[in-house]
Amino acid sequence: MRIMAFDYGTKRIGIAVTDPMQIIATGLDTIHPMHILDYLKKYLQTEPVERFIVGEPKQMDNTPSQSAIHVKGFVNLLNKTFPQIPVEMLDERFTSKMASATIAQSGMNKKNRQNKELVDTISAVILLQSYMDTTRF
């Protein structure tokens, strides 16, 4: 079964997923929050997901950031809509900066480097890879 991660934003949600053996994290898509439930319902019809990982926005002093209330609402929505899939939150500090740095180092042209959807998807990949790295023995 796969693990799916979300970099939640009020304008876009970056989504990443593992392969079925949970070895590699890959960017899946970027979806508007209004369409996320339909997207997930369709995806889950063909791909089993064992767990959702949601980026938890925190300030440098470890307190919740301003967007934490929106993320909490998203987590509640996931729990209500997909009660059979556990949801875990993981500190997402620096994932967007790491994603931007990764894109900059990739040699992409300026237009692609400024693509915010790409940043959100790569942020979700970094979040998922971090989760996988911390849960392996």
CATH code where residue 65 lies: 3.30.420.140
Confidence of residue 121 (pLDDT cuts 50, 70, 90): confident
Q: Write out the residue range of the structural domain in which residue 129 sits.
A: 2-135
Q: Lowest-pLDDT range, 39-43, 67-71, 92-96?
A: 92-96
Across the range 33-47, mean pLDDT stands at: 97
Distances (CA, A) of 88 to 52, 75, 127: 6, 9, 12
Locate 12 and state its tokens: 């876009």
SS3 33: helix
pTM attached to this predicted model:
0.81
In 10 A of CB 6, how many CB atoms?
28
Choice between 107 and 42, residue whose per-residue pLDDT is larger: 42
| pLDDT value at residue 91 | 80
**How much is the mean pLDDT over the chain?**
84
Angle at 95 between CA 89 and CA 97, to 5 degrees: 155
Domain count for the chain, please give it. Answer: 1
- 126, 91 contact by CB (below 8 A): no
Locate 72 and state its tokens: 């909490």
Choice between 43 and 103, residue whose per-residue pLDDT is larger: 43
- 6, 13 contact by CB (below 8 A): yes
pLDDT, tens digit (0-9, with 9 covering 90-100), for 73-109: 999 999 999 999 999 998 865 555 555 566 556 666 6
- 2, 51 contact by CB (below 8 A): no
| pLDDT value at residue 137 | 47
